[in-house]
Structures are given as C-alpha cells and as structure tokens.
Structure 1
Amino acid sequence: MPLPLTALVCGLVAGGITWAATPALDRLIGETTTWTTRGTHVLLGALGGLAAGLLDRGPGETIALAGTAVGLALAVTADLAVHRLPDRLTVPTATWILLCWLTLCLTGAPWPQLGRAVLAGLVLGAAFLLLCLLTPGGLGLGDAKLAAVLGLLLGWFGWLEVLAGVLGAFLLGGLFAVVLLLTRRAGRRTAVAFGPWLAAGAACSLAGAPLLLG
C-alpha cells in the first residue's frame, strides 16, 4: 500500500476509534467538557494515526503506533480536561504496546529489543515517581505512569528516542509555561497538565530521531 494511503487509513481508523470512545471518555472524566465536545481527542487520535503511517516503520510497528495514538489521545484529553491521567487509559495503552512488541518478537524481531523497552519503561516510571515525591504539587502519579508507558514505547526503538522524548517533553512544557507567565494567563502556582507534553515529546522523538541518525 502506498505510504500516503497507509497514513490516511491509519488516521481515519484512529480518529474513528477515538470518536467512538467519546461517551466512555465523558463517563471516565465525570462530566462532558468542551475538550470532548470540540473533538479534541478525535483530532489528536487522527493526527497520531496519520503520523504513525507516515513514519513508515513497518506494518507491525505502524499498527502499534496507531493504536498507541488512540490511547494517548484519550489520556491527553482527560488530562487537559480535569488534570488526571486515569489508570483506565494508561494501563490498557501500556498493555497494547507490550502485546504488540511481544507479537513482533514472536514473529522474528530481536528479543533484546523487548527487554530494552521494558527496562526503559521501568526507568522512566521510577525516575518520574521520584520527581513526584521530591516535588509535591508538581508532577503527579499519573504523569509517572504515563512516562512509564512512553518509556515502554520509545525503548523499543532505542535509548536515543527515550532521551529525546524526555528532553522534548520538558522543553515543550517549559516553553509553554513561560508563555503563559509572560502573557499573564497563569501564575507561578497555576497547575499545568504535563501529560500532553509527555506525549508531544514522544511524538517529536519518533519523528526526529531518524533524522538525527541520518
């Protein structure tokens, strides 16, 4: 299948699944918010699926990334709406990623790749948990869990992707916070959802690492 068509199909399928999940997302959030009524999650899911197809990582990895885009779109929307990253979203997303990587290994991918992914998930989860404990009121446990999920995702591709994803998240999140402060739309104690920046950092890592590697 031509790459543009693959990307289009992935985008449509991912967007369609996130749209179908709207009632469940509203129940999980506990209310109907403008984030869901405006279709934020659908747009994010469709864009994530489209990007998964354009990355051209191979059929198995493309399916894994497109499915992950659905989970991340729902989780990010929940975080934007109520500043929570529910386990009912992060756990299934992690399970999906793990099952995809396990399937790829059973069909010929190197097993050390899976080991690296699991290790990266554990390392990021532990590191962000430590940050949660050291900075009360800053990062939350949901952020630590999402970091573990993204470590499991990025670790499959390499440690460069893991590092780039983390640095990208803090850079993008930091720049956004500075903009809010400069425009006086937020104060120093204003809570800012970090989940979207973790997801954005991971996306930038997957898109940019191949360029860095030449």
Structure 2
Amino acid sequence: MPRKTTSTAKAEPTPAPSTRRQQLAAKTRDRMLKIAIREFADKGYSGARVETIASRSKVNIRMIYHYFGGKEKLYVEVLEHVLARLREAELAVTLDEQRVDPAAGILQLYDFTEGHFSKHPELLCLLSWENLNRARYLKLSRVIPAMSSPVLDKLRTLIRRGETAGTLRKGIDPLHLYVTLVSLAYFHKSNAYTLSRMFDTDMLAPSWQAAHKNQAHELVRTFLKKGSIRELAFSN
C-alpha cells in the first residue's frame, strides 16, 4: 500500500462566510450608490425612479429599502457622498503650511475646486437640482453642515497670515471669499450649455475654459492684493 505523503505547504485560510457576505454586501451597496448618483444627477429627485436604480444595479427593489431605507434617505446619502468627496479632497490641499504664500494658497484652493467640478459634473447637476428644491433634502442631513468648517478654518489661517505679513489687504471675510471662489469655479461650467447657445460660443472647449481660469486668477489676485481699489475705497 503506497505511503501517504504529507505536504509541508499550508493551505490558504478560507475566509469566513460572514466576511465574504460582508464584502459582497459592501460591493452591492457601493454599486447601488454609484447608480443612484447618476440617476439623481440626470433627473433630480422627482424624476429619478427607485425601480430604475434597482434595475441598473441588478438587484431587487427591496434591496434599496434594505440598504438605504427608501428613496429620500438614498438621495440624502447621495448628497452626503458627493459633498464629502469634495470636502475630503479640499482638506488634502496643503493650504496652511508655513511655506505656502497666502495668495498662492488661496489660488490653489480655487484651482482645486475648478478641477474637481470639471472631473465630477454629477456634483454640479446635483447642486443645481437641490438649489431648485431650496435645499429641501440637504436640510435633512446632519453631517453636511459640519463638512464645511475645516475649509473655512484653512482659509481663515491663510488670510490671517497674509494680513500679518502685509501681503493681503485687511478685512477679507473667509466665507465671502470661499463663496466667491466657488462661484468663479462653478457658474461657467454649470451654465455652459445655455451660455454657449446664447452667445454662439463653445464654453466647454478646453481653450475657453483655460482662458476663463486665467481671468479668474487675475480677479482673485486683484481682490486679495494689499492696496487694492476696494481697500482704498474703505480707507477714505
């Protein structure tokens, strides 16, 4: 009778069934969320259908309610997800390092915001839909308001450093500045189709977008500069 041989190699441990189920559940949930982002971005809250999201996610509609609790909660999570992705990336921009010139750091934040909107047009659409709804669903989120404070803190640090060094004019409000930066990065993208039609100019063309970005830089630099027209007006 042949002798049995014993292998010295150890078999790879088999993942516990619960772990596999958890991984599969996480992937399923992530897939549904990604499909929901596209659906809500394209059609808004009223136009989007849970049935469509479930069908495109290749799951039973009951899975939407199981993972998210319904259409409204799913939509709020979509808003939280896209805004959290923006905030996380914003906070990764090293604005408050001592070696960063304050004005250059502020322009760096503008460049990031402008680039993020270019890469994530779904965010522009979702923000536009939510503005039409007067932030009705945004108000249901408890986490979104807390996301913005760290960004304002970074801007506040840059402004204070610039004022102390005498490189930025005095009296710049962080929130007004942030809204201005976002406006300069947002409007020409969110309204590009209508503006292009009205003025017979392709405003989504890379060359036009680049020229507008350069103009935005000039506007921000002039606004921040010590001795600017606005500062002189307030000093009289």
TM-score by length of 1: 0.29
Larger helix proportion, structure 1 or 2? 1
Q: TM-score, normalised by structure 2?
A: 0.27
